[in-house]
Amino acid sequence: MSKLLAITPLDGRYRGKIAEIEEFVSEFALIKARVEIEIKYLIALSKIGVVRKLGNKEIKLLESLHKNFDIKDAEKVKLVESKINHDVKAVEIYLREILGKISLADLTEFIHFGLTSEDINNLAYRFMLKRTTQKVIIPTLNILISELSLISKKYASTPMLARTHGQPAVPTTVGKEIAVFASRLSPELKKLKRIQFTGKLNGAVGNYNALHFAYPKIDWIKFSKNFVSSFDFEFSLATTQINPSEDIIEFFQAIQRINGIILDLNQDFWRYISDGWFGLKSAKDEVGSSTMPQKINPIDFENSEGNLELANGLIEVFTRKLAVSRLQRDLSGSTILRNIGTVLGFCLLAYKNTSAGISKISVNE
């Protein structure tokens, strides 16, 4: 599809700037994560005797189904979904068809055995959040903090007039004021890294009903805890059908605080440019204004500010909605979670634009 036909600017105008997160938070990424969990669940069942013991070659063959999963495979899943109107069941049917054609046909009836869709989804979405954070968000923020630290050191002794209440106050230095933002971001980034995601695997209402009925001698709580812990997630013991979302809320509130700091930075840098303390270097062939050739506008900081406002607005919806699910489950939170890529896309775009703005700064010594 042409970018010109995209509904959102993230998939259109800005696609090139955030392309690296599509492998972690796209619809394809969600389907692939579901496939990975279903496969690993089947392998785990073999280890406790629910299905026959699998040889090393068979395990590698199963693992290859998610490791080599590509866009054509995802399209096959979507084709099944278009017929049955159920996304997780479509993954199950797709895997049954694949296994039915190879030496593992006898395992097909145990794909998704005893589980509900949320057993797969709660883990899949946390896969997406964790991997995007580790692979993209944290490295991007590290770069931003490093850029701020370098400028801070370079201009540590460059004097400027501080303002309180918008009025001339007493002297400060450029370096010190920039250091403030680096020192605010660093501890928040550490908090983001420490967030522990949770997981559950306990059936339709969180009571292991189908699993215990079929295999009452197996300790399903222990099995579930081991399975969830294998992904470095904290095990949720007491749940309804859904895994409580406090960990996801904590994650996005950490992102929101980081965004607030960068919003503050964008607005201050904009003002420093406006007041002449900072200048902007022009890029070759770049046009600053359609009618005023003398201008170089602080568009990177402005763009970042706007995208952070969008991200934080969506995060407000996340934090209000994800804490609530009627009785043992309702589906309204599901469509909210589908937008995690939108939130992180706006964040990534904003972080990159702030870095781009910083790279064009020249201090008017």
DSSP state of 3: G
DSSP β-ladder status, 234-235 and 278-280: unpaired
Q: How far apart are the first and last CA of the chain?
A: 49
DSSP β-ladder status, 234-235 and 198-199: parallel
Nearest to 38 by CA among 106, 116, 105, 128: 116
How crowded is residue 22: how many other Cβ atoms within 10 Å of its Cβ? 16
Amino acid code (one letter) for 307: N
Residues designated catalytic: 165, 289
Task: Compute the distance between CA of residue 305 and CA of residue 303 in angstroms, rounded to an integer.
Answer: 5
Decide if 2 contacts 337 (C-beta within 8 A).
no
Amino acid code (one letter) for 177: E
Cβ neighbours of residue 285 closer than 8 Å, sequence gap 6 or more: none
